[in-house]
Structure 1
Amino acid sequence: MSKNKGQLRAWQQAALHKFLATKPQDFMAVATPGAGKTTFALRVVTELKEDRSVERIIVVVPTEHLKIQWSQAAARVGLALDPKFSNS
């Protein structure tokens, strides 16, 4: 399903293991800018899609610019997010 899972940083790998071990309904990853939160979130999504835990993903971000960034990052791991999607 995913094109390239790639290597995760130590904190991302630890958080991924924690998430997959419990599969909580809510999970918050807090890290500094540039630490890899988007990469971590997309890895979680690819894992959940592969094991068919989820069928659809909705990413909520505060700006149009971030919608495009998320869409591009998702495309790199084989996920399609529509940056033109709007709730209106």
Structure 2
Amino acid sequence: MFAGIAFAEAEPDKRRSPATSVPSAEPTDVSRAFEKPDRLSDATVAASQFNWLVMADPVNRVMMLGDAAIPTKQQIYRHAEAAVATFLAAFLHPDKR
């Protein structure tokens, strides 16, 4: 499960928690890549970039616009999918894509 999806499914009072930016233990292509850091060009940079690809826009909108800007589950899914595609294109070694 991606961090953005966990955010969408969180109870409203927990949506603001920094812990929502941590992916769950459910295996994904992204988490599998982090399990084998040699598959990534630079694992530390990749982890930071992935976090911000997923969290930056939704968090920024809510900070600036308030609760009315909390994205729908569908918006979160689309955003998370785009973030993962961007992440994999940028950080996964070409021979591991």
Give the TM-score normalised by structure 2.
0.23
Which one has a bigger Cα radius of gyration? Answer: 2
Structure with the higher fraction of residues in helix conformation:
2
TM-score (norm 1): 0.25
